[in-house]
Amino acid sequence: METIEAIKTRRSIGIVKQDPVPKEMIEQIIEAGTYAPNHHRTEPWRFFVLTGEGRNKLGQVFEEITRIENADDTPESLISKLERQKKNPLRAPVIIAVGVEPSDKNNVLVAEEYAAVNSAIQNMLLAAHSLGLGAVWRTGKITYHDKVREFFNLSSKGEVLAFIYLGYPDMEPKPAKKTPIDELTTWIG
């Protein structure tokens, strides 16, 4: 698949089959992430692959966070939220959590560390697409909770920036609607 075609045809695929994804494909996707641009070559990305029971363990963390964050809810409302959050990691056979561990070097800007990891995530999404896999980059408030950081054993400066849910597509993506570039571009000559 040509690069421009991959960029233009990649879509978030939120519904995937539960069929296992070969380890070799997962490794290719992660490796693609490590080729992202990275000022000062600090390699601030960290990758965590969750399959099988690992997804349930993440679901338990999500359930615990939801219980803490919604303590004032009615019991019925809370139970519903807890069940949903606990099951969320089971929506795909593979989740790649992508974290950032910013460098301590004085010449390194934290914003650039985040930019590098976000670029790595985009590389990973494009790699998954090129391999015929469906992927979606999920975040949300729960992603940045201290308990998630602790689960992945990240430092106090580190955090998870993406949960890439990965599997074989089980949906047809909608065509992208993009604003024409001339409405978004200013040429300065």
Query: Which residues are annotated as part of the binding site?
Result: 10-12, 39, 137-139
Please write down the HEC assignment for all residues of the chain.
CCHHHHHHHCCECCCECCCCCCHHHHHHHHHHHCCCCCHHHCCCEEEEEECCHHHHHHHHHHHHHHHHHCCCCCHHHHHHHHHHHHHHHHHCCEEEEEEECCCCCCCCCHHHHHHHHHHHHHHHHHHHHHCCCEEEEECCHHHHCHHHHHHCCCCCCCEEEEEEEEECECCCCCCCCCCCHHHCCCCCC
Indicate the annotated binding residues for FMN: 10-12, 39, 137-139
